Amino acid sequence: MLAKQRFKQWYTLLMVAMLTSFASLVIADDGATVQMNMHDFMKQYIKPAGKLAKKGNEEPVLRIYQILPSLALAEDKDQWQAAIDKAVEAGKPNSGCRGCHKANKRAYAKKNGDRLIAIPAELIAYLEQAQR
């Protein structure tokens, strides 16, 4: 009985240790991402990228589109990907704004407006450069 309890204690300790080191890995990874909510990402980065696309530089929007579905809620990922693919395949990346907003914007803002997303810091740096 006692041996069993000892094992349980030891096992719990091991689990805590593993979780702690895992958490520190996740935190360390955060160094490479920038956290904000979807609204701020849209306003500060996607909106300017849309303006650049109108002027003929579609690369910033396309770079955003590469990761945007991965920032969606799990249940929305496929639909976001489809909306983006449709716009890109039509050769009009900016038509994706409306396509996705119609289906998602209001509901997302209402339910998940505060949800933080982790955007690769590299992409943020690129977008800031592109906006200049």
Binding site for ligand HEC (CB under 6 A): 38-39, 42-43, 46-47, 49-50, 61, 68, 80, 83-84, 94, 96-97, 100-101, 104-105, 108-109, 113
Residues facing residue 37 across a β-bridge:
116
CB of 130 to ligand HEC, least distance (A): 13
CB of 101 to ligand HEC, least distance (A): 5
Nearest to 34 by CA among 123, 125, 129, 120: 120
**Position 104, amino acid:** N
Between 33 and 62, name the residue whose CB sits nearer to ligand HEC.
62
Between 52 and 120, name the residue whose CB sits nearer to ligand HEC.
52
Question: How many C-beta neighbours within 10 Å does residue 39 have?
Answer: 15
Is the distance from CB of 78 to CB of 54 less than 8 angstroms?
no
Is the distance from CB of 67 to CB of 123 less than 8 angstroms?
yes
Is the distance from CB of 87 to CB of 68 less than 8 angstroms?
no
CB of 37 to ligand HEC, least distance (A): 6
Between 1 and 77, name the residue whose CB sits nearer to ligand HEC.
77
CB of 23 to ligand HEC, least distance (A): 27
